[in-house]
Homo-oligomer: A and B are copies of this chain.
Amino acid sequence: MKTEFCKVDEALSILVGKWKPIILLHLFNEGTLRFSELKRLMPDITQKMLTKQLRELETEDIIDRVVYPQVPPKVEYSISEYGKSLQPVLNVMHEWGSAHTKHMQEKRNRKNLEQSS
């Protein structure tokens, strides 16, 4: 692979953001969620951040945003057809991440063992 054509950064740029992976996970799990439902699933996120992250995912075509013109407002989010192509990427990253957590855990254990001996 030529370094000039490395597109890992491109994928990274879509996924980085403190809340994007968890937002995507909820949408993959639940299918469709209202803004308020997402907010309830992630109590620590502020409305501003939730809005921002959703907008960014929307401009990248990863998620669909449907506004129901009514009062009170109702906005539903879901993974777009195109966005579903992200599933395998997220899976691979999740699995490697799990393995890595375990790896670093065991490393710490070994170090503690050395110290106590």
Using a CB–CB distance below 8 Å, which chain A residues touch chain B? 1, 3, 5-12, 14-16, 21-22, 25-26, 29, 41, 60-61, 82, 85-86, 88-90, 92-101, 103-104, 107
Contact = CB atoms under 8 A, between A and B. Distances in A.
Contact of A1 (B1, B29, B101): B29
A96 B9 CA distance: 11
A3 to B, nearest CB: 5
Given A61-B103, A92-B92, A103-B82, A26 B12 contact: no
B7 A16 contact: no
B89 A93 contact: yes
B14 A12 contact: no
